């Protein structure tokens, strides 16, 4: 294009009318011209754009740019306009349990990737004042009484970190029913992706796996994979470590988790044969940092090739691809 401009005898211009619905979008910054571009050889080209914001903002849509070539000094446009279509996408995720240990890490990682974030949790906005906190919309509430229409409006993905312990009935409700409700709400609202942070499939005896903590999570996993067959992701980390804040106090789980992860990674050649022993992976399944879990969740949100069940090793691989950006 630059060489053609240098050899130009007759300046020409391209007048563009951009039909854009997303504010602050930049049209004509990277135009892929069709065959009409050949007619513009040996002419000096400039680009002018006008933005006509004629529709409400939508997180994901196609932005149409129509360009017409004309010769400078005349009012005659070419008969055939040049159509350019560019996809402009803005991610918006809803993080369930966003003020918790894992949820806050997901929110922070999403903000770092330029993603719009809404958090739903019982406590609402966290008490600490890290810079990224101001970039999140914090909503206090729970999934059983949520305004799903308002919460999921414009959302491209939901990440659920909901889970916990208690009586068997409480664990079934918190790990199972709460997530199943959220998964169906997201599916009914047309949200494209759902990421569920579950737990490693430990080789515990059946009587252990029958408690509400594990049966609830299995119900939630099955619902994700059924309702979001090619766009749902289940992360199965083991012990998650990092700095956990409880009542304003940092609990450094990384002091135990990080060195243990390194030891188990270094000795996995020797410990892998023991994995067939009942409950052995409770001791030998490597811990995962909370940042790796969060980055893996963001990778699942932003990469259409990521879906289905992700094991501990796969979580680490997904996280490393995000860190490498």
Averaged confidence pLDDT in the chain:
76
Which pLDDT value is given to residue 114?
95
d(CA 203, CA 66): 59
Asked if 297 and 106 touch (Cβ cutoff 8 Å), the reply is yes
Position 127 scores a pLDDT of 85
> Collapsing DSSP states into helix, strand and coil, what is residue 160?
strand
In order of their start, the domains of the chain are 2-89 (no CATH), 92-323 (3.40.50.720)
Residues in the chain: 325
Backbone angles phi, psi at 163, to 5 degrees: 175, 165
The secondary structure element, H or E, covering residue 235 is: strand 232-235
Helix (H, G, I), strand (E, B) or coil at 51: strand
List, for residues 183-226, the tens digit of each pLDDT value: 999 999 999 999 999 999 988 888 888 999 999 999 999 999 99
Give the range with max mean pLDDT: 39-43, 62-66, 97-101: 97-101
In this predicted structure, what is the pLDDT of residue 184?
98
Q: Pairing state of beta strands 243-246 and 249-252?
A: antiparallel
Q: How confident is the model at residue 161 (pLDDT cuts 50, 70, 90)?
A: very high
């Amino acid at each position: 294009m630059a060489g053609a401009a240098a050899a130009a005898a007759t300046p020409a211009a391209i007048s563009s009318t951009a039909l854009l619905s997303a504010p602050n979008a930049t049209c004509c910054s990277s135009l892929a011209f069709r065959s009409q571009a050949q007619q513009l050889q040996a002419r000096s080209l400039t680009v002018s754009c006008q933005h006509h914001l004629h529709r409400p903002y939508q997180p994901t849509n196609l932005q149409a740019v129509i360009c017409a070539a004309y010769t400078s000094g005349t009012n005659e446009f070419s008969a055939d306009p040049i159509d350019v279509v560019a996809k402009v996408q803005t991610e918006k995720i809803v993080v369930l349990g966003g003020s918790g240990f894992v949820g806050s890490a997901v929110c922070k990682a999403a903000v770092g990737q330029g993603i719009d974030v809404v958090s739903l949790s019982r406590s609402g906005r966290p008490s600490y004042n890290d810079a990224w906190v101001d970039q999140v919309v914090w909503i206090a509430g729970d999934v059983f009484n949520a305004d799903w229409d308002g919460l999921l409006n414009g959302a491209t993905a939901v990440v659920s970190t909901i889970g916990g312990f208690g009586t068997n009935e409480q664990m079934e409700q918190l790990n199972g029913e709460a997530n199943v409700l959220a998964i169906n709400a997201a599916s009914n609202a047309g949200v494209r992706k759902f990421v569920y942070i579950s737990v490693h499939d430990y080789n515990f005896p059946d009587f252990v796996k029958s408690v509400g903590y594990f049966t609830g999570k299995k119900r939630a996993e099955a619902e994700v994979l059924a309702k979001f067959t090619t766009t749902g992701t289940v992360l199965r980390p083991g012990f998650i470590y990092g700095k956990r804040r409880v009542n304003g106090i940092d609990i450094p789980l990384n002091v135990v988790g990080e060195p243990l992860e390194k030891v188990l990674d270094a000795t996995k050649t020797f410990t892998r044969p023991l994995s067939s022993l009942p409950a052995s992976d409770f001791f030998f399944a490597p811990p995962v940092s909370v940042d790796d879990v969060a980055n893996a969740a963001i990778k699942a949100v932003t990469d259409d090739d990521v879906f289905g069940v992700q094991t501990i090793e796969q979580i680490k691989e997904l996280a490393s691809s995000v860190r490498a950006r």
